[in-house]
Amino acid sequence: MNRMGWSGGVALAMWLALGTGTVGCGDSQAQPQAPTAGGEQGQLASNTATEEDTEDSQDLKAHHRHHHGGFAHFVSLAIETIGITPEQQAQVDKIKAELHAKTQPVRDAQKVVLLALADGVAAGTVDTAKVDAAIAGVSSAAAQIHGATAAELNELHAVLRPEQRAALVDKVEAHWLVWKESNGDHVAAAKEHEEGGHIAHLAKAIGLTNDQVERLKASFQSSMDAHAQAHGKWDPAAAEAHMKAFGTAFAADTFDANSLTTSDAAHTSMATWGVNRMARFYEALAPVLTPDQRTKVADRLREHANKM
């Protein structure tokens, strides 16, 4: 386990998205591009690849802004990126399917939040009470993740070789770092208009004007400051502790997921924070948009929801 000292950033997201296949909302994966030849044609291909790399890293960040299934979700994303052998594939596919089924209640709860946000964005005003009630459902479901998936994690540990277990820990840790950057605290909210931020990503996607960007930036920052005052600043300590405990335990020769006492707090804090931050963003966004933009954003949210 060697990535806790990394900053987040595009390089880390690209390592995850391109080195192992791009992750989309449906957890689909694409093969990385082969190297291109030199010369003018090679330079053009290189420039195109660089643009695609950046887009892939932004897609990965967008994925982590809308999915808050905690470390079990990171494990599901990482499994196919660690060199599974043909002999292991059937067992791994079974474990992945079971993990997916066991974490479905969290996705179902997140879908309710996304659809409530979509309705609010389409109307120009989000029903905060309705969204907050849906968020409580996410927190409740997240608290059950570890108990529901412990058997699958134990089975996965038994199937993998030592080097694969170490690789999985690295990839889970890297997903955690990208998730943490994509769902930063109220201070990070002030930088969402910068390259890689949610505002910057959305501005490019739906054509926000400079005035809209400034209004959204101010409104989102104000909302996050108010949230921090009312509920306290987000503390990633629980998730950091679980990442360390999981990494050490899973890389060892023997492993029992039931012995990880850090998991419930980590999953609950991550899911609660992430979905709250997402909700505050779209609440700030809705009044800023034109009718056409509201339709586009609402459609994007419903697309995210339908892939849950």
At 121-134, the pLDDT tens digits run 999 999 999 999 99
Task: Tell whether the model's pLDDT for residue 138 goes beyond 70.
Answer: yes
Domain that includes residue 269, residue range: 9-306
Task: Tell whether the model's pLDDT for residue 5 goes beyond 70.
Answer: no
Q: Give the per-residue pLDDT at 178.
A: 87
Task: Tell whether the model's pLDDT for residue 93 goes beyond 70.
Answer: yes
Which pLDDT band holds residue 54 (cuts at 50, 70, 90)? Answer: low
Residue 226 lies in a domain: yes
Q: Give the per-residue pLDDT at 111.
A: 95
Residue 3 lies in a domain: no
Residue 230 lies in a domain: yes
Q: Which residues of 275-288 are buried (b: 16+ CB within 10 A; e: fewer)?
A: bbbbbbbbbbbbeb
Residue 85 lies in a domain: yes
Asked which of 17-26, 164-173, 208-217 is least confident by mean pLDDT, the reply is 17-26
Task: Tell whether the model's pLDDT for residue 197 goes beyond 90.
Answer: no
- Can you tell me which residue has the tokens 């029903």? 127
Residue 87 lies in a domain: yes
Query: How far, in Å, CA of 251 to CA of 130, rounded?
Result: 42
Domain count of the chain?
1
In this predicted model, what pLDDT tens digit does every residue of 153-196 receive, in sequence order?
999 999 999 999 999 999 999 999 888 888 876 666 666 776 66
Task: Tell whether the model's pLDDT for residue 306 goes beyond 70.
Answer: yes
Q: Give the per-residue pLDDT at 36.
A: 41
pTM of the full structure: 0.77
Task: Tell whether the model's pLDDT for residue 22 goes beyond 50.
Answer: no
Residue 2 lies in a domain: no
Query: How far, in Å, CA of 106 to CA of 268, rounded?
Result: 11
Residue 217 is inside which H or E element, if any? helix 210-231
Residue 159 lies in a domain: yes
Which pLDDT band holds residue 21 (cuts at 50, 70, 90)? Answer: very low
Residue 284 lies in a domain: yes
- Highest average pLDDT, of 24-33, 166-175, 194-203, 215-224, comes from 166-175
